[in-house]
Chain A
């Protein structure tokens, strides 16, 4: 059973608007959460992460929010740009940083 879930396979957003990608997890032992971005024919690239002791982390246009009680995190992209069109994966790990669990991905399409 998947411990990290992304229930929206795809999302379409207009350029300049906000993109919100969601992720849920089941394992309360997870301590770090990460978002990766993946273009076709390339490997995932790290985007942003958050520790379980925080509820928000911001890096430029990207902000990740963590709601531990709901076991839910989200990635906000503001403003969205056509170059943001990619598949986004959320991932989770414990403080050991040995095993990583990924969601199934959300394909974001930002329309010009």
Chain B
């Protein structure tokens, strides 16, 4: 089954404790991206990766890092989480840019609570 898998689905942690949210896709997609969803703000793009060699900032990259060492995986790293990063996070992927005309496949989300 074609899917984007995020782990963990839920996490409660404390300020300053490094965490990683993993994202893996099995569709051989080139493009991957991370979003956060907050009430009243919709989805905002954190980072995206056009392919294994290209990664760039989205609209709200502060406090986040990403890594794209292989095509299928795109982990989101919070080196020193803070309470304002409490949010619902989504990973998404799509084929070669333009091929799907922007349509992305999304994971089911990771709810992070940072105390």
On chain B, the residues within 8 Å of A49 by CB distance are: 101-103
Contact A44:B43 (CB < 8 A) given known A34-B102, A49-B103, A93-B102:
yes
B48/A98 in contact, CB under 8 A: yes
How many Cβ-Cβ contacts under 8 Å join chain A to chain B? Answer: 69
A103/B42 in contact, CB under 8 A: yes
CA distance A99 to B41 in the complex (A): 16
B42/A104 in contact, CB under 8 A: yes
Q: For A45, give the chain B residue with the smallest CB separation.
A: B106
A51/B101 in contact, CB under 8 A: yes
CA distance A100 to B58 in the complex (A): 8
Q: Which of A42, A43, A98, A105 has its CB near the most chain B CB atoms (within 10 A)?
A: A43
CA distance A112 to B87 in the complex (A): 33
**Is A6's CB within 8 Å of the partner chain B?**
yes
On chain B, the residues within 8 Å of A105 by CB distance are: 42
B45/A99 in contact, CB under 8 A: yes
CA distance A95 to B99 in the complex (A): 11
**Is A65's CB within 8 Å of the partner chain B?**
no
On chain A, the residues within 8 Å of B107 by CB distance are: 43
Q: For B96, give the chain A residue with the smallest CB separation.
A: A97
A99/B58 in contact, CB under 8 A: yes
Which B residues from 30 to 51 make CB contacts under 8 A with A?
A: 31, 33, 35, 40-45, 48, 50
On chain B, the residues within 8 Å of A46 by CB distance are: 103-105
User: Interface code A57-101, partner B: CB below 8 Å = 1, 0 otherwise?
Assistant: 000000000000000000000000000000001010101111111
User: Interface code B81-110, partner A: CB below 8 Å = 1, 0 otherwise?
Assistant: 000000000101010011001111111110
Give me the interface of A with B, judged by CB distance under 8 Å: 2, 4, 6, 32, 34, 36, 41-46, 49, 51, 89, 91, 93, 95-105
Which 7 pairs across A and B sit closest by C-beta, in order of nearness?
A43-B106, A104-B42, A97-B97, A102-B43, A46-B103, A102-B42, A32-B102
- A43-B109, A95-B98, A97-B94 are known contacts; what are 12 more A-B pairs with Cβ within 8 Å? A42-B108, A43-B92, A43-B107, A51-B101, A91-B43, A97-B98, A98-B50, A99-B45, A100-B33, A102-B42, A104-B42, A105-B42
Q: List 9 A-B contacts (CB under 8 A).
A: A2-B42, A41-B109, A51-B101, A89-B43, A97-B98, A100-B48, A102-B35, A104-B40, A104-B42
